[in-house]
Amino acid sequence: MDIMTESEINECFAFASTIAKEAGKVISSAFYKEKDIETKAGVADLVTKSDKEVEKLLFDSIRSKFPSHKLIGEESVSAGDVSPHTNDPTWIIDPIDGTTNFVHRFPYVAVCIGFTYNKEIKFGVVYNPILDELYTAKRGTGAFLNGTRIHVSQEPDLRKCLVMTECGSSRDDVVMAKLFENMQSVLSTPVHTIHSLGSAAMNACMVAKGAAEAYYEFGPHCWDFCAAGIIVEEAGGVLMNGDGGPFDLMARQIIAANNPEVGKSLAKRLVQQISFPHDCQ
């Protein structure tokens, strides 16, 4: 395993912001054009030529500069290239988080670049090129939106919260019944409302900048929220699993909240825990 210094992590962090902007140019140029669309696990699990193009651009750039680092990406995993998550320096990438939004020209899409070392998230970059919003965070240094520091909401009462979630891409009747039972339970708290932007990263970034108090979801992958997760933490928020237990990046469930009280209160309202196979096993 490579032994990394703080200076080397800083170099990777700066590089991540640069290549996120380059990837954003590819997304922006294709956003209002017709797309070549394919499906993966189901009719609601979409992929486009741009997803693959952006991931290749990011992978090629990283391999050229940091040839010994590991890479985990949504499209490469979908194609069967499954790498275990190790202590090595690892880039965890979603080329276009919110592909369905991208297909429909709904402007909540993001390039997501997370980085782990010793299995700890060290930094994250989330770039929405359509809105030109660059969210960044490195552990211990705060979270930023276009260079301006951001903070989570200070609201302590779940009943006064705006909560983000997603229905996911599964259309299995049992899974959907559990999803809707959880939604009904959360709404009956009652919270102010539930919103959905169609992007795990964008939902989490709403929490980071104080536009929402919490985000929960069962079924997303590590590349969906690795980068955004540390942005939430560095903005003063917390991460936990869907049952309120310690956060596990590979467990495919997440609560991102502005504080532990809201997170724990939300976990108690999630009456149906939904299990998915762990990532990178």
User: For this structure, is 94 an active site residue?
Assistant: yes
- Catalytic annotation on 74? yes
Distance between terminal CA atoms of the chain? Answer: 19
Query: Which structure tokens are listed for 274?
Result: 């939904």
Set 51, 75, 166, 224: catalytic member: 224
Q: Which of 27, 72, 96, 121 is catalytic?
A: 96
What are the φ and ψ backbone dihedral angles of 194, each rounded to 5 degrees? -120, 130
What gap in Å lies between CA 204 and CA 215, rounded to an integer? Answer: 6
C-alpha 201/C-alpha 227 separation (Å) is 8
CA distance 242 to 228: 17
- The region that residue 82 occupies, defined by phi over 0 for left and psi between -120 and 50 for alpha, beta otherwise, is beta
Distance CA 88, CA 31 (A): 35
Give the H/E segment covering residue 202.
helix 200-208
**Count of all residues that appear for the chain in the document:** 281
Please confirm, yes or no, whether 150 is among the known catalytic residues.
Answer: no
Q: Which entry of 97, 155, 233, 234 is annotated as an active-site residue?
A: 97
Nearest to residue 94, comparing CAs of 68, 75, 107? 75
Q: Is there a catalytic annotation at residue 99? A: yes
Marked catalytic residue, from 51, 55, 75, 94: 94
Q: What b/e readout covers 225-250, taking b as 16+ CB neighbours within 10 angstroms?
A: bbbbbbbbbbbbbbbbbbebeebebb
Report how many helices (DSSP H) and strands (DSSP E) the chain contains, helices first: 8, 14
Beta bridge partners of 275: none
> DSSP string covering 226-243, please?
HHHHHHHHHTT-EEE-TT
Residue indicated by tokens 């970034």: 205
Active site residues: 74, 94, 96-97, 99, 224
